[in-house]
Amino acid sequence: MEIIKVSEKNKARLLQLAGELQTKERKRITMDNVVSFLLDYYFKNENKAKKLNLTEIIKKYQFNAKPIPIGSIDEEIYK
């Protein structure tokens, strides 16, 4: 067994998560279970983020618009 030091705030948050997991799973949850849950969640989402192709995302949301001079933005808005 290892000891991990955490702040009081994080301890409270870990205990809250443990309680939520215990309610959901209907079984006793240890701090090791909570840490495993958080690590699994992190690595699962990290892999999803790596699969995203930033160039494809940018192309998806690009659109063509003519540039508007800053001085005439109000005129454009209130046309």
Structure tokens at 59: 């192309």
pTM: 0.57
**Separation of alpha carbons 37 and 14, rounded Å:** 11
Asked if residue 46 has pLDDT above 80, the reply is: no
Asked if residue 3 has pLDDT above 90, the reply is: no
Determine the pLDDT at residue 50: 65
More confident: 4 or 69? 4
Structure tokens at 3: 């000891």
Determine the pLDDT at residue 28: 93
Contact predicate 66/76, CB 8 Å: no
Confidence band of 59 (pLDDT split at 50, 70, 90): low
